[in-house]
A and B are shown apart, each in its own frame.
Chain A
């Protein structure tokens, strides 16, 4: 059994079997992370470069830790402190790094499609760690892993994705993945933050009513308002957004059932989630972070270069 692809550019071009293979491999890596020695020698002879053209804490640490737990050698690159600041192009930077015999590239970039571009020009395996407003495949995989772990499966599960759908690569990757695995998806948020033809294009339900959406779902994946990607005013104020689409304790307690709360981080406390929701026992936000390492280990392990 192997993945159908050499790179992980997005969930869009993965098959259902690919996703299942990554998730089941991640389960075994989660066991590794509970051992006294949380490390295996699998990628001892593999060198990985982490190219981060955009800020990141969680994802960068998570990838780095996953690489170290697999015994790979790693080098880190942050655009702000490198030759990119002197005007070097992406392709030049990567080719320079590859000439130092690097096998895999983990890349985050603010331009959608940057890893796809790279994959057509270089021989190394590429893992997309987030590209602009396109995809963030490992986040969707770790979200799916966490939903499966918490609720027992994905098939038929009702998942609401709430917030800034328009600018969210997490939303897009999650939608692709959940659809492929047979879950039902509703996106919810203010009309200005939900793409107009998303129902037709991606096959999800759309709701502008938070309470109705929460009544319907088993799992609520709550997103951050991506102010850094918005170049126009799409809602009047964060306070108003919070009143209409923020989740607080009172709202959760008034529901007929107990739903699971997820968030890819970073949380803007008091905007999309109140602290007493984010820190409650319904929330699996920190489990998501924990599972992220196991899922990324599985992705790197399955994509590691083969001789033939």
Chain B
């Protein structure tokens, strides 16, 4: 598998393979960011798919920009706005983590951009043009470290898979 389930939950959810408390820029609690392995039913009603490389249960703390549509708001990956946002991600300096959020096989519901550095690394989020974005501080135990997308490919490698997962077959 090349993806994991992912959600921002109000409280810890049993069965998560990785989780970390999140807070907003002012330090106010914002929930718990959770990831689950794919070999199970959707763990929450709002869970989406992310690139598995975005998650590391032993990852250090960091900041994330979570761009996420309201319930039921999705765009097809073939929407020119989504394609253009992906192009912008490729053009920008690479973040420690970037993954699109996938609902079903072909619907984009946002993105997760992460850094183990300063929150100013997340000052510009191309997906915030389509989906409301929130910058959150996440504690240790969740955020991974991904290789930057090689480019210039903007297409997903098979239905089900988030972009930038970069092969048709699992490694």
State whether these chains interact.
Answer: no
